[in-house]
Chains A and B, each alone.
Chain A
Amino acid sequence: MYSPHTEGDIKAMLAAVGAPSLEELIRVPDAVALKVPLDVPPALPEADLARKIAEYAARNTAATEYTSFLGAGAYRHYCPPVVMALAMRGEFLTAYTPYQAEVSQGYLQAIYEWQTYMCLLTGLDLANASVYDGATALAEGAIMAVNATGRSALLVSSAIHPNYRDVLRTYARGLDLDVDELPVAPDGTTDLSTLEARLADKRYAAVALQSPNFFGCVDTPHAREQEMFASTGTIPIAVVAEALSLAALVPPAAWGAQIAVGEAQSFGNPLNFGGPYVGFIACTKEHIRRIPGRLVGRSVDNRGNPAYVLTLQAREQHIRREKATSNICTNQAHCALVATIYLAALGETGLRRAAGLNLRQVNRLAERVCAVPGFSRAFAAPVFNELVVRVPSSTTTERVLAALRERKILGGLELAGWYPNLSDCLLMTATETTTDGQIDAFAAALGEIVRETKAAARA
Chain B
Amino acid sequence: MPNAAPIPLVFETGKRGRATVYFGDGHALDEFLPKSALRESLPLPENSELDVVRHFTRLAQRTFSIDTGFYPLGSCTMKYNPRINEAMAAQPGFRDLHPFAPTDLAQGAIATMYELERALSAVFGMAQFSLNPAAGAHGELAALLIAKAYFRKKGEGAQRSTVIVPDTAHGTNPASAAMVGYKVVSLKSDARGRVDVAELKTALGSDTAVCMMTNPNTLGLFEDHILEITEAVHAAGGLMYYDGANANALMGNSRPGDMGFDLMHLNLHKTFSIPHGGGGAGAGPIGVAERFVDFLPTPVAVRDRDGKFSLDFERPESIGPMRSFWSNFAHVVRALTYIYANGGEGLTKISQLAVLNANYIRVAVKEFLETPYDEPCRHEFVASAQALKRETGVRALDIAKALLDRGYHAPTIYFPLVVPECIMIEPTETESKETLDGFINALREIMATAKSDPQKIKDAPVNTVVGRIDETRAARQPDLRWQPSL
A379 within 8 A of B: no
A130 within 8 A of B: yes
In the complex, per-residue mask of A305-327: 1 if CB is within 8 Å of any chain B CB, else 0:
11111011110111111111011
Residue of B nearest to A270 (CB): B95
- Contacts A3-B349, A41-B340, A301-B467 given; indicate if A56 touches B321 (C-beta within 8 A): no
Q: Which residues of B contact A135 (CB under 8 A)?
A: 321, 323-324
Q: Could you say which of A198-206, A226-234, A249-257 contacts chain B?
A: A249-257
Interface centre among A93, A174, A274, A349 (most CB of B within 10 A): A274
**Which of B58, B102, B136, B479 contacts A298, CB < 8 Å?**
B479
B438 within 8 A of A: no
**How close is B4's CB to chain A, nearest CB, in angstroms?**
7
Q: Which residues from 159 to 186 on chain A have a C-beta closer than 8 Å to any C-beta of chain B?
A: 161, 163-164, 166-167, 169-171, 173-176
**Which of A25, A288, A296 contacts B356, CB < 8 Å?**
A25
B46 within 8 A of A: yes
A29 within 8 A of B: yes
Contact assessment for A297 and B474 in the assembled complex, using a CB-CB cutoff below 8 Å: yes
A456 within 8 A of B: no
B281 within 8 A of A: yes
State in angstroms the CA–CA spacing of A275 and B328 once bound together.
4
Q: Which residues of B contact A23 (CB under 8 A)?
A: 352
Contact assessment for A116 and B175 in the assembled complex, using a CB-CB cutoff below 8 Å: no
Q: Could you say which of B30-38, B188-196, B234-242, B285-293 contacts chain A?
A: B30-38
In the complex, per-residue mask of B293-310: 1 if CB is within 8 Å of any chain A CB, else 0:
000010000000000000
State in angstroms the CA–CA spacing of A346 and B446 once bound together.
47
Q: Which residues of B contact A327 (CB under 8 A)?
A: 137, 140-141, 172, 175-176, 178-179
Interface centre among A32, A337, A352 (most CB of B within 10 A): A32
Q: Which residues of B contact A106 (CB under 8 A)?
A: 7, 58-63
Q: Which residues of B contact A332 (CB under 8 A)?
A: 134, 280-281
Contact assessment for A271 and B95 in the assembled complex, using a CB-CB cutoff below 8 Å: yes
**Which of B4, B144, B226, B357 contacts A174, CB < 8 Å?**
B144
B174 within 8 A of A: yes
A457 within 8 A of B: no
State in angstroms the CA–CA spacing of A50 and B82 once bound together.
13
Contact assessment for A74 and B100 in the assembled complex, using a CB-CB cutoff below 8 Å: yes
B24 within 8 A of A: yes
Q: Which residues of A contact B178 (CB under 8 A)?
A: 322-324, 327
**How close is B419's CB to chain A, nearest CB, in angstroms?**
16
B153 within 8 A of A: no
Contact assessment for B480 and A101 in the assembled complex, using a CB-CB cutoff below 8 Å: no
**Which of B62, B134, B273, B345 contacts A37, CB < 8 Å?**
B345
Q: Which residues of B contact A307 (CB under 8 A)?
A: 466-467, 469
Q: Which residues of B contact A316 (CB under 8 A)?
A: 171
Contact assessment for B376 and A19 in the assembled complex, using a CB-CB cutoff below 8 Å: yes
**Which of B47, B337, B429 contacts A347, CB < 8 Å?**
B47
A272 within 8 A of B: yes
- Contacts A25-B356, A300-B470, A305-B6 given; indicate if A110 touches B42 (C-beta within 8 A): no
State in angstroms the CA–CA spacing of A278 and B116 once bound together.
23
B468 within 8 A of A: yes
A224 within 8 A of B: no
Residue of B nearest to A345 (CB): B52
State in angstroms the CA–CA spacing of A319 and B135 once bound together.
19
Q: Could you say which of A353-361, A370-378, A388-396, A441-449 contacts chain B?
A: A353-361
Q: Which residues of B contact A130 (CB under 8 A)?
A: 280
Residue of A nearest to B253 (CB): A26
Residue of B nearest to A130 (CB): B280
Q: Could you say which of B13-21, B387-395, B448-456 contacts chain A?
A: B13-21
25 residue pairs of the A-B complex, CB under 8 angstroms, read A4-B431, A19-B359, A32-B254, A53-B336, A56-B333, A62-B97, A63-B93, A74-B98, A89-B56, A89-B60, A90-B68, A97-B276, A102-B401, A102-B466, A103-B64, A112-B482, A163-B321, A170-B297, A170-B320, A249-B37, A271-B98, A276-B280, A331-B280, A341-B52, A346-B44
B148 within 8 A of A: yes
**How close is B165's CB to chain A, nearest CB, in angstroms?**
8
Contact assessment for B137 and A133 in the assembled complex, using a CB-CB cutoff below 8 Å: no
Contact assessment for A360 and B278 in the assembled complex, using a CB-CB cutoff below 8 Å: no
Q: Which residues of B contact A101 (CB under 8 A)?
A: 466, 469
Q: Which residues of B contact A356 (CB under 8 A)?
A: 26-29
- Contacts A72-B100, A327-B178 given; indicate if A1 touches B346 (C-beta within 8 A): yes
Residue of B nearest to A96 (CB): B276
**Which of B29, B273, B325, B478 contacts A133, CB < 8 Å?**
B325
- Contacts A2-B80, A106-B63 given; indicate if A175 touches B401 (C-beta within 8 A): no
Q: Which residues of B contact A410 (CB under 8 A)?
A: 98, 101-102, 105
**Which of A273, A340, A341 contacts B326, CB < 8 Å?**
A273
State in angstroms the CA–CA spacing of A60 and B125 once bound together.
30
Contact assessment for A271 and B176 in the assembled complex, using a CB-CB cutoff below 8 Å: no
A421 within 8 A of B: no
Residue of A nearest to B327 (CB): A275
